[in-house]
């Protein structure tokens, strides 16, 4: 029984200390976004990165198609000089 009372007293102390934490200052402050002046650097980086990734994907796809066609030609090539 005494251990239970001690636990209750401990929880009261913790609960009493918790509201004081609400008044501490934070290093990170949440601000409302200013829609009148967008972050053009972030917008440019987002679209530029997207365009670069799409460019790399298209380039890789074209290289893969060319390699596929080359191997398909090599499979169909039946000459006695090459083999």
**pLDDT values of the chain reduced to their tens digit, one per residue, 83 residues:** 567 667 666 666 555 555 555 566 777 778 887 889 989 999 999 999 999 999 999 999 999 999 999 999 988 877 767 65
Torsion sign (Cα): 31, 33, 37, 43: positive
42: left (phi over 0), alpha (psi -120 to 50) or beta: alpha
Domain range list for the chain: 39-82
User: Hey, is 54 helix, strand or coil?
Assistant: helix
Q: Which of 75, 53, 71, 73 shows the shortest CA–CA distance to 63?
A: 71
Q: Give the pLDDT score at 42.
A: 95
């Amino acid at each position: 029984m005494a251990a239970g009372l001690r636990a209750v007293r401990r929880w009261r102390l913790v609960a009493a200390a918790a509201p004081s934490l609400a008044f501490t200052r934070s290093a990170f402050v949440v601000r409302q976004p200013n829609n009148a002046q967008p972050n053009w650097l972030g917008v440019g980086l987002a679209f530029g990165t997207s365009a670069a990734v799409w460019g790399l994907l298209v380039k890789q796809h074209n290289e893969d198609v060319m390699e596929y066609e080359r191997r398909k030609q090599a499979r169909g090539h039946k000459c006695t000089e090459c083999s």
